[in-house]
Amino acid sequence: MIPARAFGAQGMVAPLGRALLKRPGTAFGMAFDDPALGFLHPVDLPRAQREHDALVHLLTGLGVRVDLLRAESGSADDIYTFDPLLVADQGAIALRSGRASRRQETAILGRWMSDIGIPILGRIEAPGTVDGGDTFWLRPDLLCLGRSLRTNDAGARQLAALAGAAGSESRIFDLPYWRGPGELLHLLSVISPVADDLAVVFEPLLPVGLWELLRDLGVQMIPVPEAEYATLGCNVLAVRPGVVVVVDGNPITRRALEAAGCEVHAFAAAEIGLNGGGGPTCLTRPIVRG
């Protein structure tokens, strides 16, 4: 039996003690060859690896124990370790991506979890689909779910039931079609909690029900300007309340975070972020928070 608090991450802002990341490999380097993946230009793999190494160094310097996943899935998206599963306080929940090419990642991460003693609480079963990017814990007992082009109704209901069995309430919010399958929109594309009472949001795409929930809970919202949405201004990773990691190059959002009292750490992410479409939250699977 592994010690208490060796896992458990029902939250987005409690101190991040341990996280799983995956360094870009050959599949990421070839991602532009598949138009369905939506990469903007051919990948500079050495640069992507340097950017990822810098993120690992930054997180380690902020006190996070970083584990690197060594297994290769063959998926270009496998560096975005947030998506294949959740880590609840009682164990992991294996998800089933709305992108079929990513589903092998769940098995790989699940084996890694099992190898270090984290039990699998349950799995999303067909026809259900859930991407981790459509999930976040607003509080340890409140899981927010986005119904999107990657997370369908069957999957959202299955995950809500699994979270309920673990003692958490769930709320499901519909995301807009926006630009369709070619430009992925996750729930975490439009919100990043950065403290118990503070979140970064992209208001034009924020579900009204979620906006109302944040308002009712007294969560202050920092709006991301439209000019910084495409450069991942809304993708912010809280290492602990008010201490955040952001993608470099979003000065308006950064100044707003600092004005709200946050300590902001930026890293360059031209390849692993802007080209691949995932920011620091996507790149980091919390194993222990709190």
Is the pTM here over 0.85, yes or no? Answer: yes
Q: Are 285 and 19 in contact (CB under 8 A)?
A: yes
**Tokens of residue 261, six digits:** 């009292």
Cα–Cα distance, 68 to 164 (Å, whole number)? 31
- pLDDT, residue 1, reads 36
**Tokens of residue 185, six digits:** 């929109």
Q: Are 8 and 290 in contact (CB under 8 A)?
A: yes
Check pLDDT > 90 for residue 50.
yes
- pLDDT, residue 4, reads 52
Q: What is the pLDDT of residues 220-246, one digit of tens each?
A: 999 999 999 999 999 999 999 999 999
Check pLDDT > 70 for residue 3.
no
Largest CA distance in the chain: 49
CATH superfamily of 16-289: L-arginine/glycine Amidinotransferase; Chain A (3.75.10.10)
Q: In percent, how much of the chain has pLDDT > 70?
A: 99
Q: What is the pLDDT of residues 90-137, one digit of tens each?
A: 999 999 999 999 999 999 999 999 999 999 999 999 999 999 999 999
Locate the domains of the chain by residue range.
16-289
The length of the chain is: 290
Q: Please, what is the average pLDDT of the chain? A: 96
Check pLDDT > 90 for residue 66.
yes
**Tokens of residue 274, six digits:** 């802007």
Cα–Cα distance, 24 to 71 (Å, whole number)? 11
